[in-house]
Structure 1
């Protein structure tokens, strides 16, 4: 049995202890869980998690997996180090979470569908069923959400997920949309409730499966049957979709993907001749969409595969993710 920490340390007020431990690196935090029950509860508390994350350097969670094998893969957190005229990704990972060590994830295909405040939402998908997991890669803990209701549907449905937290309620929620469907196809799971709720019908066709989380909302590109592509936002507080202003329509001709750059909603537009990145400088204000960068060639053609992810840092560095590559 592990011995308790020094009594004088244990006597410190909880907020002081949280402040001290939150300055430790991730690998040390993992070991702190094993010291005693009090420390384990402390580092698992949402206040501590948010405090610790606020003090960490910028990083990216990379999911390494072989697309030809039915395995969950490995999640690696790598830090991004910014220097004068040089931003690089550290090759030594900060922490590693081998998903195959989790019994519930073994012999399955896994993909990430969202990340908020250090928690990652994982989707375990298969031909006849799927499951959702909320994972804390720092503590290497995860929870399994109940099976969704759509399995009672007999018809085939494409499934889309997003993960976020309400700005007012502070409730963490997973939303899922299955299409096509004439019935209610929007379900919400609030962490801690133990059940999914069907809350409405989404009449629009989703253009991308990933809905980036910004300012309390998930964002998607929808394509109506008789209308051009438009942006819609799902508010995690009131659980409703609403129209969201997009860049000038004459400027967004081509394949589009949403991302987050320095905390702002962004959009990448790919055509045969160029790749353009737009950033919304003031959230929700149409006129604040700014053409951040233009590459005089198609990134899809340059890399040989389509862009699947987009995000940027405070220093102006923009990262593009592909299925088999990363560039910045």
Structure 2
């Protein structure tokens, strides 16, 4: 049996001499290897487990240092409901959230246990939210006294070198009093600080992704070739390093090299698959190619990791492969139109479909899914100086 099954089998085992006599450091080490969902169950077993998990700060940081399995969070158009997907157990359950007005939010992305939420209809403050502790902190507005501007991109990430969470905003400032072209400025907000900072200006390019992809301490965008704005026009990728706060460029996989014929590509999206920076290419012959950069920043490390026959299902813009399951023989897929399913790579068929219930996303209001690694620490521990609030209900 699994360790957590033993812990839940009989609550009386915790009061037995075998458990009571275990040194505290051994209990801490054992519990630190459990996933967060198992720790929630262990808190209800006995007082010693509850004390370690809820009150021992050393335990929480030890648990953070252990490798964590990513989870899938599926969000409704407004975050009054989230679906937590357990791909190993092949089940999902809903988490109801209660944000007091005006906090009707939509989820942008996930970084190191925290979600960045944007006000629905873009009116009001953004916030950063821990769905495990139900704590959130508000992000102040960066643009004051400027009437003519538009936000082109909004990113959220974590800098492991400085141990800081940062928010990035690319703003297009319109020059209404002269003939100068508009200016793209970059502003950075470090959680726990009082205000935004302006850093180097953003490249004057067409940003296809409002929310950039975060990986390896950097944010990433797919960029159109100059003067072209259609799906199959991607020419390169730019990045923003959250440590040195500088822009850079990342090579795309070979099929997307500038000058290549890409008329057969119906859709190209950027994401993360199994911890690799990845590009998902949907071809007109109903085939999805998943390209993965096995060594970050090395152009030659791009490989076509998997090929999926999409004649079995419709793949919309926000759909993507989540991760390998069953020892790499199958792939878990999120489909924004109707649910989550497992695709068998060798047999080329769909099994174990989990359909959305109670709501059906459509048009611009389709569901959004995020790869999320939960974190046990409170926001006060993660972000020094932040003003932390807590949801009043689920």
* TM-score, shorter chain, exceeding 0.5: yes
The two structures have a TM-score, normalised by structure 1, of 0.75
1:43-122 pair list within 5 angstroms: 47-48=61-62, 50-51=64-65, 54-55=67-68, 57-63=69-75, 65=76, 67=77, 71-81=78-88, 90-93=90-93, 97-100=95-98, 102-103=99-100, 106=103, 108-111=104-107, 113-122=108-117
User: Which of 161, 164, 168 is equivalent to 1:168?
Assistant: 161
Paired with 1:122 and 1:24, the residues of 2 have a C-alpha distance of 28
Q: Is the 8 A contact 1:97 1:140 kept in 2?
A: no
Q: CA 1:44/1:165 → structure 2, altered by over 3 Å: closer, same or farther?
A: farther
CA distance in 1, matches of 2:261, 2:271: 17
Normalized against structure 2, the TM-score is what? Answer: 0.63
User: What 5-or-longer segments of structure 2 have no aligned partner?
Assistant: 1-14, 175-181, 343-394
Q: Is 1:313 the counterpart of 2:324 in the alignment?
A: yes
Alpha-carbon spacing, 1:19–1:138, altered in 2? closer, same or farther (3 Å): farther
Aligned to 1:149: 142
Q: Pairwise CA RMSD of aligned residues?
A: 3.7
1:292 is displaced (CA, Å) by: 1.9
Question: Is residue 29–residue 43 contact of structure 1 (8 Å, CA) maintained in 2?
Answer: no
> Please, which moves more after superposition, 268-277 or 247-256?
247-256
Work out which of the residue numbers 265, 283, 289 in structure 2 matches 1:276: 289
Deviation of 1:184 after TM superposition, in Å, equals: 4.8
SS in 2 for 1:172: strand
Greater relative contact order (Cα 8 A, min sep 6): structure 1 or 2?
2
Residue 79 to residue 39, structure 1, CA distance change in 2 (3 Å):
closer
Do the aligned partners of 1:62 and 1:75 also contact (CA within 8 Å) in 2? yes
Aligned length: 298
In 2, Cα distance between equivalents of 1:256 and 1:145 = 31
> Cα–Cα, structure 1 residues 29 and 297, in superposed 2: closer, same or farther, change >3 Å?
closer
The Cα of 1:265 is off from its aligned counterpart by 0.5
**Is the Cα contact below 8 Å between 1:258 and 1:310 reproduced in 2?**
no
Per the alignment, do residues 114 and 288 of structure 1 end up closer, same or farther by CA in structure 2, a change over 3 Å counting? same
* Match runs of 1:1-328 below 5 Å: 19-23=29-33, 26=36, 29=39, 40=54, 42=56, 47-48=61-62, 50-51=64-65, 54-55=67-68, 57-63=69-75, 65=76, 67=77, 71-81=78-88, 90-93=90-93, 97-100=95-98, 102-103=99-100, 106=103, 108-111=104-107, 113-127=108-122, 129-146=123-140, 148-150=141-143, 152-155=145-148, 157-179=150-172, 182-202=182-202, 203-226=204-227, 229=234, 230-248=236-254, 249=257, 250=260, 254=265, 255-274=267-286, 275-295=288-308, 297=310, 302-303=313-314, 305-313=316-324, 315-316=327-328, 317-325=330-338, 326-328=340-342
The answer as to whether partners of 2:166 and 2:191 remain within 8 angstroms in 1 is yes
Tell me, in whole angstroms, the C-alpha distance in 1 between the residues paired with 2:241 and 2:95. Answer: 31
